[in-house]
Structure 1
Amino acid sequence: MTDERSSAPQPSSGGFSLFRFLGEVKAEMKKVTWPTRRELVAYTGVVGVAVVVVCALIWICDTFFARLFQLILQ
């Protein structure tokens, strides 16, 4: 079993280095698995449908409670 803490980068005593930071960002971005165009379109469609469903639910609840309160206040 390996100790995960030993592989973590150790803080340097020199403080923050912008060039080191950008180099590390570039190295991490190379590890990213980017979605294909087809996956991106599918994920976007799922998010769009979810937004429409949630908006419809909020509209229905808002309409219901508005009419309920209107009946109560009459």
Structure 2
Amino acid sequence: MGRLTNFFRDVAREMKKVSWPKRQELTRYTITVVTTVLFVAVFFWVIDLGISELIRALIN
């Protein structure tokens, strides 16, 4: 049980050393991530649609 207590004490000590982002930075990073994910999702959706249509055209 002592090892578990020491582990959580060490975790708490290390978390105090972390440089947390400010609210403005966090908002900017979040917008960047969401925009990138949406772009990649749309990109692969268009590629998938194109490949599907190409295969459909080859089969018919």
The TM tier, using the shorter chain, reads over 0.9
Q: Distance in 2 between matches of 1:34 and 1:43?
A: 13
Q: Which runs of 5+ in 2 are unaligned?
A: none
Report Cα offsets for 1:10-59 as digits up to 9, x if no partner.
xxxxxx71111011001100100000000000000000110111011111
The number of equivalent residue pairs is 59
**Which contiguous aligned blocks of 4+ residues in structure 1 show a shift greater than 3 angstroms?**
none
Q: Which runs of 5+ in 1 are unaligned?
A: 1-15
Q: TM-score, normalised by structure 1?
A: 0.76
Match for residue 28 of structure 1?
Answer: 14
Give, as a single letter, the amino acid of the residue that structure 1 aligns with 2:13. Answer: A
Indicate the structure (1 or 2) with the bigger Cα radius of gyration: 1
Q: TM-score, normalised by structure 2?
A: 0.93
Q: Which has the higher helix share?
A: 2
